Amino acid sequence: MSDTQDLLTVGLVSVSDRASSGVYQDQGIPALKDWLSAALKNPVMFETRLIPDEQPQIEATLIELCDSAGCDLVLTTGGTGPAPRDVTPDATVAVAHRVMPGFGEQMRQISLRFVPTAILSRQTGVIRGKTLILNLPGQPKSIKETLEGVKDADGNPLVHGIFAAVPYCIDLIGGPYIETDDSVVKAFRPKSAIRAAKT
- Over the stretch 146-179, which tens digit does the pLDDT of each residue have? 999 988 888 888 899 999 999 999 999 999 999 9
Rounded to 5°, the CA angle 11-7-184 comes to: 75
pLDDT of residue 17: 82
User: What mean pLDDT value characterizes the chain?
Assistant: 93
Query: How remote is the C-alpha of 41 from its chain's centroid?
Result: 16
Q: Which residues pair with 120 in a beta bridge?
A: none
The 3 state secondary structure assigned to 102-165 is HHHHHHHHHHHCCCHHHHHCCCCEEEECCEEEEEECCCHHHHHHHHHEEECCCCCEEEECHHHH
Whether residue 199 is predicted with pLDDT greater than 60 in this model: the reply is no
CATH homologous superfamily for 8-193?
A: MoaB/Mog-like domain (3.40.980.10)
Over residues 127-152, the mean pLDDT reads: 94
- Over the stretch 13-66, which tens digit does the pLDDT of each residue have? 999 888 888 888 899 999 999 999 999 999 999 999 999 999 999 999 999 999
| pTM given for the model | 0.94
Give the containing element (helix H, strand E) for 44. Answer: strand 44-51
pLDDT of residue 2: 45
The residue count of the chain comes to: 199
Nearest Cα to Cα of residue 44 among 4, 8, 1, 76: 8
Over residues 88-95, the mean pLDDT reads: 98
Spatial separation of the C-alpha atoms in residues 155 and 186, rounded to whole Å = 12
Q: Using CA atoms in the order 143, 185, 123, 59, what is the torsion angle rounded to 10 degrees? A: 90
How would DSSP label each residue in 3-39? Answer: SSPPPEEEEEEEE-HHHHTTSS---HHHHHHHHHHHH
